[in-house]
Structure formats: C-alpha cells, structure tokens
C-alpha cells in the first residue's frame, strides 16, 4: 500500500548503517526496491563480501570498487575471506581502498599461508581498524603510515620484533593489540610509545615465544595464553589501570603471583587456567571481584581470606586414578572469608571409573569450603557425579546448609530419575530457596521453596536431630515446580508430599 514504507524515508546515512550489517550479496538485492535504495546501495560505505564470495566473484569486486573510486566515495569498511590468495587482485583492491580512505579493513586468506602483505596497505593513513589473517608482515620500503590506527588484530600471521617495534612507534593512538597463533616473534615489549593502549591479547603463543614485557600505565585488559605451557618470563609493571588479567597455560609460579598482585591496585578480574606451576594462590585485595582458578592441577592451597569483595569464584574438582594426567588427590586447602554475595561455579570432573566413596567424600569436603555463599552452580557431564549414595549420607554432614540458591548443569541425566537427583541435591543443600536444573535446553527446570515461620518449633526429626539447623522437610510450606515434563511433575509432587513433615 502506497505511503506505508516509512523506512525508505529515513536519512540516507541511517539506511547506509542498516545495510552495513548485511553481506554484500544481500545488500545488493535492496537496489531493486526503489530509487532510494538503489542510491543507498550505490553509495554503500561498508562492503562485506562474506566467506568464499570473492573466489567466485572477483570481477564484481573490481566493479564495485571501481565505481566508488570514480565517484570518490569513501569506504568505511571492507571485509573479505579469500580461500585462494589472489595476489595481483588484492594489491589492486588495497590501492583503491587506500585512495577511498578506508577506515576498517578485514582480510582473511587462510591458516598458515603466510603470503606477504601488500605494501600499499601501509600507506592507509585513515585506517582505524586492521584485521589480517594468514599474512607475512614485513617492514615496507616506505614508512608505515598508520597514524590513526586504533585496533590491530593479527591471526595466523608471521612477524618479527623489528616490524612490531616500528608499528608501535607510529601507532600512538593504538588502543587494542591482538596477536593470535603468530610466528616469528620471540618476545613482545610494550612500553611508553602506546599511551592509549587499553587491551593486549596474546593468544596461543608459539613455543619459541619466550618473553612478554608490558609497561603500559593505561592498559585495562591483558590476556596471555601459550601453546606449549612453557611461557615462563612474563613481566607486568607500571600497569596501574589493569582491571582484567587472564593467564592460560603459562608457567607462572607462586612467587611471581605474590609479587604481581600488590602492583595491580585496580585489578578486578583474574583468570588462572592451566597454570601448572602454581601451588598456592593467595589473593589479598579489596578490589578483586571475579576469580577463576581452573585446571591448575598442582594446587595445594587457595587463600581468599583477604578478598572481602569477591563476588564470583570459578573452580574445578578433579578425581581419578593415580598417575592419570589432570587428576589429583587430595583437594587443595581453602581459606575463604568472602562477601555474603559470593556466587560460586564449580566444574566436577571425576574419572568415570572412580565414582567411589573417596570421590563422594572428596566432593562433600570440597563443597563445604563454599558454605554460606549466596549461590552455587555445579557443572558435570553425567548425573552419577552428584547423586551421593544414601548409605554414605549417614556418615557425612551436608556441606552447604547455608546456601540458598543452587543450579545444576548436567549433559547426561539418564542414569538416575529426577527424584534421585533432587533428593541428593537437597541433602547437599538442605535449606534451599531455589533449585534450578539446566538440561542443556532453552528452558531451565525450576523448583522454588517457601517455608513457614517456625522459630519456636522445637520438634526434632531424625533426619537432622543432631544438627544446629533443620532441613527443608521441617518448615516446608509450598513448592513450585516449573518447566518439568508431566512424568517428572508427577514424581516430584509425590516425593515432596511423602518427605515433608508438614
């Protein structure tokens, strides 16, 4: 109906922004809608050619770029994946893009191809964002002219210290430096030439990469991961603004961590993953809010006594046969005096063949470290991991009687019924307000508990007669069950009716 097309009446810059979210082949289809849309397409400033599109349509790319060059249209973004490197064509495209004042350039030519990057690219004075994959980067004959470069992403690329030093000397506006699966670089030193640098990512550093030295007062995010677990020398100094630090598979030790943390007064998020040289993790900071310690298999102690504002903690519990990589016994000793708002997430990773009394004893002992946390999430691959045998419960104390919210995430729940799982969880968490069961589906199953006020009730029941607190059975007033199957609802309803004392 005429007069109902309000989108076409929007200003052309807004229509250009709308088309910028589409791949070029989809954006081109809008040119047939009306003269307005044809004009928007003709002047489109963001060109995303999608995966494998250039291999089939090189001539179309030539034509689109030629039109914009002839009409003197600035190009904001150019993105292309090339399954086969078209050296001459890419060189020509880069020259056009530079002339059209390209702002954001994304080129992907595959893994470990290491084709030499076109020299024309280093003349892009207007470039703000550069992302390259599969290139070999060398110093050009002329100088690098990335005067306004803010973000640099290099993946599966080859480069050396000389190139990177020259780049850092020119790119004084650089805010993000990301290197992923690179080669040729032996060390990285970031010093005072990058005053605006905010984020540094060194992902999957190669075995020959030996040293990271970061001296950057304004860096807020630092991520370092190693390919071979052998990156030893990491120096982080004068990083007073650092708020997020993530270390994966690097050989940092207790002394290094102890000396580092006092020099990071604003650190709020710390991830330590696969750091096999760590034996003691001690956090003394009133600023740290998020801590993740996973797959640090040689840990013997975790001291969080002096982290009063810790809000989220992630950890994993392993168990298995002696000598099996990644499994250890006993559990680390915990010291925890965290905020009452602490939320804990724990991944349970026992050897499937070692689900014996030692595992369940270890599980309850480890979970007991986090009693009084406001919420706990348990992750496991199959339900046997968290269904503690009833005969064992007679000789163990429920470890988490102070926790009110609990979530279980399990992939395989075929060995036990929903009642068995819930019964075990309500022994582990005997005073829950909310129990959430995530089965990997879009909707989570939820159990909400409401209790009656019975402060004066002195009635003792055999289930917890010797304890200072009463379990859910005593004061249960109402149970709400959400997002369970019909069969599960029937079984759970019967379970709660039979096991409540009210």
Lowest mean per-residue pLDDT among 47-61, 273-287, 375-389, 425-439: 47-61
- Rounded to 10 deg, the angle between the 58-70 and 87-99 helix axes is 20
Determine the 3-state secondary structure of 214 from DSSP. strand
Query: Can you give the pLDDT at residue 282?
Result: 93
Q: Is the pLDDT of residue 357 over 90?
A: no
Q: Is the pLDDT of residue 360 over 70?
A: yes
Q: Is the pLDDT of residue 25 over 60?
A: yes
Looking at the DSSP bridge assignments, the partners of residue 399 are: none
Q: Is the pLDDT of residue 475 over 70?
A: yes
Which two structure tokens, joined as six digits, stand for 35?
């003269």
Alpha carbon distance 378, 483 (integer Å): 19
- Name the pLDDT band for 501 (thresholds 50, 70, 90): confident
DSSP state of 118: P
Alpha carbon distance 443, 433 (integer Å): 19
pTM, rounded to two decimals: 0.87
- Rounded to 10 deg, the angle between the 12-19 and 35-42 helix axes is 70
Query: Can you give the pLDDT at residue 454?
Result: 58
Query: Can you give the pLDDT at residue 8?
Result: 78
Which two structure tokens, joined as six digits, stand for 219?
């860096």
Task: For 213-225, write each residue's pLDDT tens digit.
Answer: 888 899 999 999 9
Query: In degrees rounded to 5, what are phi and psi of residue 15?
Result: -65, -40
Average pLDDT over residues 162-176: 92
Nearest to 407 by CA among 417, 389, 421, 392: 421
- Name the pLDDT band for 455 (thresholds 50, 70, 90): low
Stretch (H or E) spanning 444:
none
Query: Can you give the pLDDT at residue 145?
Result: 94
Nearest to 298 by CA among 270, 256, 326: 326
The residue written with tokens 């369970």 in the block is 484
- Residue 392: C-alpha distances to residues 267, 350, 395, 473 (Å): 42, 18, 6, 20
DSSP state of 126: T
DSSP state of 356: S
Average pLDDT, the chain: 86
Nearest to 135 by CA among 202, 87, 102: 87
Which two structure tokens, joined as six digits, stand for 232?
């030893």
Dihedral sign for Cα atoms in the order 348, 349, 355, 360? negative
Distance between the two ends of the chain, CA-based, in angstroms? 65
Task: For 77-128, write each residue's pLDDT tens digit.
Answer: 999 887 666 778 888 999 999 999 999 999 988 766 678 888 999 999 999 9
Report the 10 Å Cβ neighbour count for 362.
18
- Name the pLDDT band for 338 (thresholds 50, 70, 90): low
Helices (H), 123-222: 161-170
Per the CB < 8 A criterion, the answer to whether 398 and 428 are in contact is: yes
* Bridge-based pairing state of the strands 176-180 and 135-136: unpaired
Q: Count how many Cα atoms sit within 13 Å of the Cα of residue 193 in the half-sphere of its side chain.
A: 11
Which two structure tokens, joined as six digits, stand for 252?
């940092």
Query: Can you give the pLDDT at residue 323?
Result: 47
Query: Can you give the pLDDT at residue 464?
Result: 65
* Backbone angle region of 50, left / alpha / beta, with phi > 0 → left and psi within -120 to 50 → alpha: left
Q: Which of 65-69, 137-141, 375-379, 400-404 has the highest mean pLDDT?
A: 375-379
Lowest mean per-residue pLDDT among 159-168, 197-206, 218-227: 159-168
Which two structure tokens, joined as six digits, stand for 31?
């040119």
Query: Can you give the pLDDT at residue 394?
Result: 84
Report the 10 Å Cβ neighbour count for 427.
21
- Residue 249: C-alpha distances to residues 74, 206, 348 (Å): 44, 12, 20
Alpha carbon distance 410, 386 (integer Å): 10
Query: Of all residues in the chain, what percent carry a pLDDT higher than 70?
Result: 90
* Opening angle at CA 129, ends 127 and 133, nearest 5: 115
- Name the pLDDT band for 1 (thresholds 50, 70, 90): very low
* Bridge-based pairing state of the strands 434-438 and 405-412: parallel
């Amino acid at each position: 109906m005429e007069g109902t097309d309000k989108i076409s009446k929007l200003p052309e810059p807004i229509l250009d922004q709308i088309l910028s979210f589409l791949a070029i082949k989809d954006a081109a289809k809008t040119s047939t809608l009306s003269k307005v849309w044809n004009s928007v397409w003709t002047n489109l400033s963001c060109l995303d050619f999608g995966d494998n599109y250039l291999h089939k349509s090189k001539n179309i790319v030539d034509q689109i770029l030629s039109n914009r060059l002839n009409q003197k249209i600035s190009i904001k973004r150019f993105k292309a994946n090339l399954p086969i490197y078209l050296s001459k064509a890419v060189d020509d495209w880069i020259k056009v893009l530079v002339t059209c004042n390209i702002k954001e350039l994304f080129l992907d030519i595959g893994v470990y191809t290491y084709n030499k990057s076109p020299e024309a690219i280093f003349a892009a004075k207007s470039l703000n964002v550069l992302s390259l994959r599969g290139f070999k980067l060398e110093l050009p004959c002329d100088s690098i002219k990335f005067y306004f470069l803010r973000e640099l992403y290099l993946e599966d690329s080859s480069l050396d210290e000389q190139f990177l030093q020259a780049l850092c000397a020119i790119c004084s506006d650089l805010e993000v430096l990301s290197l992923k699966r690179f080669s040729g670089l032996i060390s990285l030193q970031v010093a005072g030439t990058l005053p605006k640098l905010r984020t540094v990512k060194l992902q999957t550093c190669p075995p020959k990469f030996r040293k990271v030295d970061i001296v950057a007062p304004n860096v807020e995010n630092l991520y370092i991961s190693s390919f071979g677990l052998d990156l030893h020398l990491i120096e982080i100094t004068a990083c007073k603004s650092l708020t997020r630090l993530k270390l994966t598979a690097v050989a940092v030790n207790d002394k290094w961590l102890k000396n580092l943390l006092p020099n990071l007064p604003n650190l709020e998020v710390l991830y330590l993953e696969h750091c096999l040289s760590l034996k003691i993790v001690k956090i003394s900071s009133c600023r740290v809010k998020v801590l993740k310690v996973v797959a640090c298999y040689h840990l013997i102690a975790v001291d969080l006594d002096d982290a009063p504002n810790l809000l989220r903690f992630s950890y994993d519990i392993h168990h298995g046969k002696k000598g099996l990589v990644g499994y250890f016994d006993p559990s680390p000793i915990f010291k925890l005096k965290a905020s009452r708002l602490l939320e804990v997430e724990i991944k349970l990773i026992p050897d499937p063949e070692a689900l014996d009394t030692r595992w369940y004893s270890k599980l309850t002992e480890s979970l007991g470290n986090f009693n009084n946390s406001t919420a706990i999430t348990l992750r496991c691959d199959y339900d046997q991991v968290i269904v503690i045998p009833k005969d064992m419960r007679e000789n163990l104390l429920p470890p988490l009687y102070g926790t009110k919210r609990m979530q279980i995430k399990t992939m395989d729940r075929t060995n036990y019924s929903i009642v068995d799982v819930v019964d075990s969880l309500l022994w582990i968490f005997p005073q829950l307000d909310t129990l959430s069961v995530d089965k990997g589906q879009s909707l989570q199953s939820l159990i909400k508990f409401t209790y009656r006020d019975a402060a004066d009730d002195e009635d003792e029941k055999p289930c917890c007669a010797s304890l200072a607190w009463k379990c859910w059975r005593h004061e249960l007033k109402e149970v709400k069950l959400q997002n369970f199957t019909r069969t599960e609802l029937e079984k759970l309803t019967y379970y709660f009716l039979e096991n409540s004392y009210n």
